């Protein structure tokens, strides 16, 4: 009698989200529930060390789970080619034409999906979160930089060359701040966690008396201010921090208006670390969108909502995409 085949769609998958500061992993059930997590710091200067950190998180979680895992999905902060095999470039990590899928497959010896982290987050929000049922959903991830993903007609859209959704590098200020991508004035230089920190340092250096409450958090050293420091200060009611967060929201809303002009989405989901600020950043974004959308008053605009899955969207989406790839392969077999 032939052995009964296990349905891969009913097994947990393991998802990993690789960002500019952390490698976060989780064991994810088929309904999107995260069963357990692990994390490590991201080695940003070494390809080999970054891959070792990913493998370490995978093996730690596999041992913790103890049972079968259908596949591993890795969403990474980089620009992938159309096949998903090669990271062409990463503004915040060491990858340059790096064969990440091949390298990780050799290390992990497990069924593997590899792709962009914001694509994975967009898919998670479409499948399980704030974009369920949307015809055209955009996801904007606000973290170290700005990433993005597009789900249209129930499918993840990656573009002709695999790099669609990298709107953090739209140029919004001619000859503005230098960006890690090599250009100046990119959107992520004004509407990301890094932007929040950069502006805070500038204000604290220029006007230390006005920024006294912020400086108190870092023992008077403006160079140590981070986006997290500003976010906590804003939550505590610091007027300077609130103003800085409002500015990030304004820049966010203007960028959404520009994207809506081109793509006309029905919903824009805001995720990533900065999204924990909630309406402090989303309200000014919505207000700026309302003032900046071309044809305003005569056409509908997109809903702007916070990601339902929060910081776990990337790992949830990577796990679900990996599971889906295995299920598709099983159907073809």
pLDDT tens, position by position, 291-327? 999 998 899 999 999 999 988 999 999 999 999 999 8
Residue 28: strand pairing partners: 13, 34
pLDDT number for residue 37: 97
pLDDT number for residue 144: 81
pLDDT number for residue 21: 82
pLDDT tens, position by position, 97-112? 999 999 999 999 999 9
pLDDT number for residue 9: 73
- pLDDT for residue 5 is more than 70: no
Q: What is the mean pLDDT of residues 202-218?
A: 94
| Alpha-helical segments (H) within the chain | 47-65, 100-108, 117-128, 193-206, 212-216, 227-235, 239-263, 279-292, 313-332
- pLDDT for residue 122 is more than 70: yes
What's this model's pTM, rounded to 2 decimal places?
A: 0.90
In order of their start, the domains of the chain are: 8-124+312-332 (3.30.420.40), 134-307 (3.30.420.40)
pLDDT number for residue 1: 34
Tell me the pLDDT band of 125, cut-offs 50, 70 and 90. Answer: very high
pLDDT number for residue 85: 87
Helix, strand, or coil (residue 285): helix
Asked if residue 18 lies in contact with residue 117, where contact means CB atoms within 8 angstroms, the answer is yes
Structure tokens at 163: 């790099």
pLDDT: is 164 or 6 the higher one?
A: 164
What is the rounded average pLDDT for all residues in the chain?
92
- pLDDT for residue 333 is more than 80: no
Q: What is the mean pLDDT of residues 126-149?
A: 93
pLDDT number for residue 6: 56
pLDDT tens, position by position, 19-65? 888 899 999 999 999 999 999 998 888 999 999 999 999 999 999 99
- pLDDT for residue 2 is more than 50: no
Exposure string over 61-78, b if 16+ CB within 10 A, otherwise e: bbeeeeeebbbbbbbbbb
Q: What is the mean pLDDT of residues 188-196?
A: 93
């Amino acid at each position: 009698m032939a052995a009964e085949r296990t349905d891969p769609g009913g097994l947990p998958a393991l998802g990993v989200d690789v960002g500019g500061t952390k490698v976060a992993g989780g064991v994810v059930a088929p309904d999107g529930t995260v069963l357990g997590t692990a994390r490590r710091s991201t080695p940003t200067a070494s390809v080999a060390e970054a891959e070792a950190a990913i493998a370490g998180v995978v093996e730690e979680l596999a041992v913790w789970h103890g049972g079968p895992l259908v596949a591993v999905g890795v969403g990474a902060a980089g620009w992938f080619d159309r096949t998903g095999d090669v990271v062409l470039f990463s503004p915040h990590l060491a990858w340059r034409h790096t064969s990440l899928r091949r390298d990780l497959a050799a290390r992990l010896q497990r069924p593997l999906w590899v792709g962009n982290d914001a694509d994975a987050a967009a898919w998670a929000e479409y499948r399980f979160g704030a974009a369920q049922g949307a015809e055209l959903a955009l996801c904007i991830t606000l973290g170290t930089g700005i990433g993005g993903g597009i789900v249209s007609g129930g499918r993840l859209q990656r573009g002709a060359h695999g790099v669609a959704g990298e709107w953090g590098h739209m140029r919004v200020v001619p000859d503005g701040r230098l960006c890690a991508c090599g250009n100046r004035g990119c959107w992520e230089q004004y509407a990301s966690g890094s932007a929040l920190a950069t502006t805070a340092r500038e204000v604290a250096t220029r006007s230390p008396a006005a920024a006294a409450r912020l400086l108190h958090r870092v023992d008077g050293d403006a160079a140590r201010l981070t986006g997290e420091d500003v976010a906590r200060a804003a939550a505590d009611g610091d007027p300077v921090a609130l103003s800085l967060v409002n500015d990030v929201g304004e820049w966010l809303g203007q960028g959404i208006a520009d994207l809506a002009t081109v793509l006309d989405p029905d919903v824009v989901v805001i995720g990533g670390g900065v999204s924990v600020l909630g309406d402090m950043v989303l309200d000014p974004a919505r207000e700026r969108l309302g003032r900046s959308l071309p044809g305003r008053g005569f056409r509908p605009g997109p809903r702007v909502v916070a990601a339902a899955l929060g910081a776990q969207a990337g790992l949830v989406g990577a796990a679900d995409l990996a599971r889906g790839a295995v299920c598709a392969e099983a159907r073809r077999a």
